[in-house]
Amino acid sequence: MTALSVRDIGISFGGVKAVDSVSFDVEEGSIFSIIGPNGAGKTTLFNLISGVYLPKAGTVSLFGEDVTGVAPNRLVARGLSRTFQNLQIFFRMTVAENVMVGRHLKEARGIVPHLLSLPSVVRQNRDSRTEAIRLLDRIGLAGRADDLAANLPYGELKRLEIARALATEPKILLLDEPAAGCNPKETEDIERLIEAIAADGVTVVLVEHDMRLVMRISNRLHVLDYGKTLASGTAEDVRTNPEVIKAYLGTHGAEEAARARR
């Protein structure tokens, strides 16, 4: 079944069409990557899908239901969560608390029991923490659960964002450059993590610049350039598409590449 369907979506900022009539479908349980040169509109596309921006045109559907313009916090209830290219960590909270916020919709949210710290709230805090520790264990950060998030190095914060998103128990997870700024070892960890997430049946939509990572793990790819769709298909389709090569290497580079192949 189609988990995520984007139809003719578009938005412009100050007359510039940041995303222009983009359409694609993502099969449930697959890893779908969106690639393209810097400024191609990948993050903007994520912001449109996750409800952070309101699209000027087009529709977004989750599992066949139209969710265009639905607020991000409501999309979480429908099974969509995401991470950010520029870290959006709760720096004043501990590592465990960061993940516990991800349990928000799974927790009873009546204010009066919270004010009085009723036994049910104490129990729930304990449950949320247990789940948070389990997820931290999965990304190798259980040992730092009670450290202030601000004290973690960059690579670990990248993984912390993934753990926080996983805590919402998403059916679709949007990962915005999870390996950016990571060393080869960390990139490998993230690759394995993404594959494990997909193996659990979660649909992963990925924006990533590390082409080796993308080509290895993606079921399908979608290439953007200047906000428009340039190509779409499997890793092999995209790799050999002359338009894509031209966009990445420039016209001159594309000729070189073509000569080299001959």
Partner 1 sequence: MAEFLQFAFSGLTVGAVYALVAIGFTLIYNASDVVNFAQGEFVMIGGMATVFIMAAGVPMPLAAGGAIVIAVAVGLLLHRLAIEPARGADAVTLIIITIGASIFLRSAASIVFDKQFHTLPPFTGETPIVIGGAAILPQSLWVLGGGVVIVTILWAFLTHTILGKAILATAANRLAAKLVGINTSYVVGLSFAVSAAIGAIAGILVSPVTLTRYDVGTLLALKGFAAAMVGGMGSPIGAIVGGLLIGLLEAFGAGYISSDYKDAIAFLVILAVLFFMPTGLFGRASVERV
Partner 2 sequence: MGRLFNHPLAAPALIALIVIACGFGLGSNFYLRVAALVWISALAAIGLNLLMGFAGQVSLGHAGFFGIGAYAVAVGPNVLPVSPLLALVLGIALAAVIAYLVGRPILKLKGHYLAVATLGFGILVYMVLSNESGLTGGPDGMPVSRATLFGWRLKGVDTWYWITGGVLVVGAWVAVNLVRSPTGRALRALHDSEVAARVVGVDVARYKLVAFVVSAVYTALAGGLLALFNGFITPDVAGFMHSIEFVVMVVLGGMGSIVGSLVGAAILIALPQALSAFQEYEHLALGLILMVFMIFLRKGIVPSLVALAGRGR
**82 scored as a contact of partner 2 (CB under 8 A):** yes
Strands 172-176 vs 80-82: parallel, antiparallel or unpaired: parallel
* Nearest CA among 14, 85, 42 for reference residue 226: 42
> For residues 47 and 203, which CB has a smaller minimum distance to partner 1 in the complex?
47
Q: Cβ of residue 175: shortest distance to partner 2, in angstroms?
A: 12
Total number of residues shown for the chain: 262
- Rg of the chain on CA atoms, in Å: 20
Which residue in the set 16, 71, 196, 258 belongs to the binding site for partner 2 (CB under 8 A)?
Answer: 71
Angle, in degrees to the nearest 10, between helices 119-138 and 154-166: 130
Q: Cβ of residue 110: shortest distance to partner 2, in angstroms?
A: 9
85 binds, among partner 1, partner 2, none (CB under 5 to 8 A by kind): partner 1
Size of the site for partner 2 (CB under 8 A): 42
Residue 239 sits at φ, ψ, to 5 deg, of: -60, -35
108 binds, among partner 1, partner 2, none (CB under 5 to 8 A by kind): partner 2
**97 scored as a contact of partner 2 (CB under 8 A):** yes
105 binds, among partner 1, partner 2, none (CB under 5 to 8 A by kind): partner 2
Grouping H, G, I as helix, E, B as strand and the rest as coil, residue 216 is helix
* Nearest CA among 232, 99, 228, 79 for reference residue 156: 99
Spatial contact of 61 and 3, defined as CB atoms under 8 Å apart: no
Which residue in the set 54, 91, 188, 236 belongs to the binding site for partner 2 (CB under 8 A)?
Answer: 91
**123 scored as a contact of partner 2 (CB under 8 A):** no
Strands 203-207 vs 31-35: parallel, antiparallel or unpaired: parallel
> For residues 24 and 84, which CB has a smaller minimum distance to partner 2 in the complex?
84
Whole-number Å distance between alpha carbons of 251 and 143: 50
Whole-number Å distance between alpha carbons of 215 and 235: 6
Which residue in the set 90, 219, 228, 241 belongs to the binding site for partner 2 (CB under 8 A)?
Answer: 90
**119 scored as a contact of partner 2 (CB under 8 A):** no
Question: Applying CB under 8 A, which residues contact partner 2?
Answer: 50-52, 71-73, 75-77, 81-82, 84, 88-93, 97, 100-105, 107-109, 111, 113-117, 121, 124-125, 128, 164-165, 167-168
